[in-house]
Structure 1
């Protein structure tokens, strides 16, 4: 079986999921290949050229419209001899929408990576045209089944997962004598979802011996640096980190700090726990508390409560035994339920089930009538001021 996974190679969680899933599905006889759209002449991002061996880049000339781009995508799918596709909802709007137009004999699996209303609206727009839905967290599934009427029997939870052999148990770097806790933020530098503008306030409440490394890139990096300038060793900006360098980076830090407003199930959190880097993260119902059991293998704080986050870190700074206990338990949690083997087995079961007995779905639409359904078009929420949206997101998680 050969499956196209809609994604472009990049330094980020969705592509890490692809790489792990590709390796995990191979023993099941399923070949997973990435397939992505990009402007003509752009090519793959620097440092990721080797990923061309595992997928297909569909180049889109600048003068073509969405319908023409969709035709190019459809042509690549058919030419590739794929048995099915995996669409990551809202990763790309054309690729999300294309499942409504593909030939009826192709397997179509939708993956929902986030808990935002916009993501759910897009998922609902293509639901009649997919055979099954995978949610990366329990929260996603609960919301889609209970509030958006997704069929329970065709909506599953399969968590993002890691390859444990990349995270050796003996790989942790000891903290130098007399040094405070080494904190790490790893992810997209973006405030709306990641809450990065809370980092300066958290750090300001910590002992001067504590250090913070910020690894990643994003459109809010410049503003974050203005609010919290680099002052090594107290604050260090490490920039974007290649996937193969992530385990060593995590092993050099004691605490993974994640003040997010919303997530699906962040790969960085799973990776941190695999490395024994203790998670101190926002409590997101059905998301972070799906993997972190507060006080056992990590610690949770209310969204936006920088004082609580800092108090947790200060406590760990004076309780080495608890820090070590949480580190060991975090690793054990990943070993038990968040491995590539576990994730791949879940996907393989779904693919084979669809192939053997495909559920009845809506008939394909004609690509001549290409259009974006309402759930994939910009809605009122798109135009709300960012501060108001951020406030609403915080309120939603606290209720």
Structure 2
């Protein structure tokens, strides 16, 4: 069996990391010929055991889909798994008839999942990273329009060994991991620390993933800037060590399809706190046992909980251990790999029994706006887009509603 995973880039955040783990797991469990393809990278030093890595160096211009299709036709793949590859979507109807095409959805946003409805007659399966996404896809697709395989395969990871955790009696160690972006709820952090300071608590917050000057100024105004360590973007292995040295993972995100950072932090005994809405962390953790889910927008409850865990270190230790055990038992590389192989076998079997439509020829060279973003918005300066996101995300309830419709 010849399997091809398609991703935008080897540096494409959670999509890339999840796909790297998936390709590795399939290769280790099956012995199939597995290739991981980065569409936009020109070169790569990426090495994955038993996995062939390819950098196609495609641009974002209109011939990209045609160039990709030419490459794909020479590969003679049995299964193609595409993840967030909007630039080559025009090639989907022209994929080889012998290849089962599975769309791997890593984001539950409407503009991402709309690929299923746009190309329903040409794709053979939809694989979601969480069941809340699968529920949406099933509601939006009818059997007469899409008869392929739909299912959920949770992401997984190859976790390091369980660390020897040592509590810091002087202060609680908090950590935020992810894009330093309003969509990730970063603007909840200054008022949270301000409330903790008013309660006489001493905490330290590590921010991993970038820097934001407006956020820094907010910390300054709250007089807690000395409590912050900015780590920027760090190697993946470094994230694990930072989580092992932290007590609580803050997940104030307004939109979280799965949460690779959450399972990686939990594996190291870091206790997650997030908002309770249809998101990946609601499926990853069990409230009160391996983490906490709090009502949307009720930041004072985060303060109460952190103070409680500061006072009750025995509870913190217990939840920490349970968090690590839960993700290692349910989201490890082998568990994910077996679920993925099972899904691929099912989808490929259905494909052989009833292959979907393919068109002859090559895709037209038309400008692509596969994500469905309005031309006016795309033309806005990055700084203005960020201000718009910040304004919307200032209200957790409004932003979660808009981003998760």
CA distance in 2, matches of 1:253, 1:215: 12
CA offsets 1:226-247 (integer angstroms, 9 cap, x no match): 3235977610001112112222
Is 1:200 matched with 2:190?
yes
Tell me what 1:305 maps to: 298
1:237-265 deviation digits (Å, cap 9, x = unpaired): 01112112222111000001110001110
Map residues 68-87 of structure 1 onto 2, 5 A cutoff.
68-87=63-82
Deviates further, 131-140 or 69-78: 69-78
2: distance between equivalents of 1:398 and 1:253?
30
1:60 is paired with a residue of what secondary structure?
Answer: coil
Q: Is the 8 A contact 1:124 1:148 kept in 2?
A: yes
For the residue of structure 1 that corresponds to 2:35, the secondary structure is strand
Alignment coverage as a number of residue pairs: 381
Match of 2:373 in 1: 378
The offset of 1:124, in angstroms, is: 2.1
- What secondary structure is seen at the aligned counterpart in 1 of 2:337? helix
Choose from 31, 56, 59 the match for 2:57.
Answer: 59
Among 181, 185, 194, the residue aligned to 1:190: 181
The CA RMSD measured in Å over matched residues stands at: 2.9
Q: By how many angstroms is 1:382 displaced?
A: 5.4
2:24 match: 23
Q: 1:175 aligns with which of 153, 167, 188?
A: 167
Deviations 1:337-380 (A, max 9, x none): 21211211122123223434414322236324355788643249
Q: Following the alignment from structure 1 to structure 2, what is the Cα–Cα distance between the partners of residues 398 and 205?
A: 28
2:96 aligns to what SS in structure 1? coil
Partner SS, residue 85 of structure 1:
strand
> CA contact under 8 A between 2:5 and 2:23: conserved in structure 1?
no
Q: Report whether the alignment pairs 1:393 with 2:399.
A: yes
Which residue in the other structure is 2:382 paired with? Answer: none
Q: Deviations over 1:22-60 (max 9, x none)?
A: 221122123332212227xx645xxxx344984111123
SS in 1 for 2:132: helix
Q: Paired residue for 1:321, among 314, 317, 334?
A: 314
C-alpha distance in 2 between matches for 1:32 and 1:233: 48
* Runs of at least 5 residues in structure 2 that lack an aligned partner in the other structure: 379-384
How far off is 1:152 after superposition? 8.3
User: For residues 300 and 24 of structure 1, do their structure 2 counterparts lie closer, same or farther at Cα, with a shift above 3 Å needed?
Assistant: same
Match of 1:212 among 205, 216, 221: 205
Instruction: Give unmatched runs, 5+ long, in structure 1.
Output: none
Question: SS at the partner of 1:110?
Answer: strand
SS of the residue corresponding to residue 121 of structure 2 reads helix
Equivalent position to 1:33, from 26, 31, 35: 35
The answer to whether the 8 A contact 2:194-2:224 is kept is: no
Are residues 307 and 22 of structure 1, via their aligned partners in 2, closer, same or farther at CA, if it must alter by over 3 Å?
A: same
On the 8 A contact 1:134/1:155 being kept in 2, the answer is yes
SS of structure 2 residue aligned to 1:127 = coil
Change (3 A) 1:227 1:360: same
CA distance in 1: counterparts of 2:309 and 2:148, whole angstroms = 43
**TM-score scaled by length of structure 1:** 0.85
Q: Spell out the pairing of 1:281-300 with structure 2 (5 A cutoff).
A: 281-285=274-278, 287-300=280-293
SS of corresponding position for 1:114 = coil
After TM superposition, the score normalised by the length of structure 2 is 0.84
Equivalences for residues 157-168 of structure 1 within 5 A: 157-164=152-159, 166=160, 168=161
- 1:157 deviates by 1.0
- Secondary structure of 2:120's partner? helix
Moved more, 10-19 or 110-119: 10-19
Distance 2:404 2:114 in 1: 22
SS of the residue corresponding to residue 193 of structure 2 reads helix
